Structure 1
């Protein structure tokens, strides 16, 4: 079991060290999705806050 875990860990480390590894592609998709969410949910929220502040 430890040998199997060691092999998986070595494969993960090798994948992270590659420029176009699956792990980096996954992190890129996650950060792109978070940026898209922040951009399209955050801009209307900021506009709403500015509207509420100027209404006072």
Structure 2
């Protein structure tokens, strides 16, 4: 149980740091998701607009 508590304290300390690994991981995840939405979403929206105008 103390091992889990030590890991939790280390995680909380890492989150509270400005340059923590956890924040870098979440930054990388959100940047990747934004790029995916931008690269896949914009052509899909253009396709939908094209389909609507061809009615």
User: Could you tell me the TM-score, scaled by structure 2's length?
Assistant: 0.99
Inter-partner Cα distance in structure 1 for 2:41 and 2:17: 34
Counterpart residue number, 2:21? 22
- TM-score under structure 1 normalisation? 0.97
Aligned pair count reads: 55
Partner SS, residue 52 of structure 2: helix
Q: Give unpaired runs (5+ residues) of structure 2.
A: none
Report the counterpart of residue 49 of structure 2 in structure 1: 50
Q: Distance in 1 between matches of 2:7 and 2:54?
A: 58
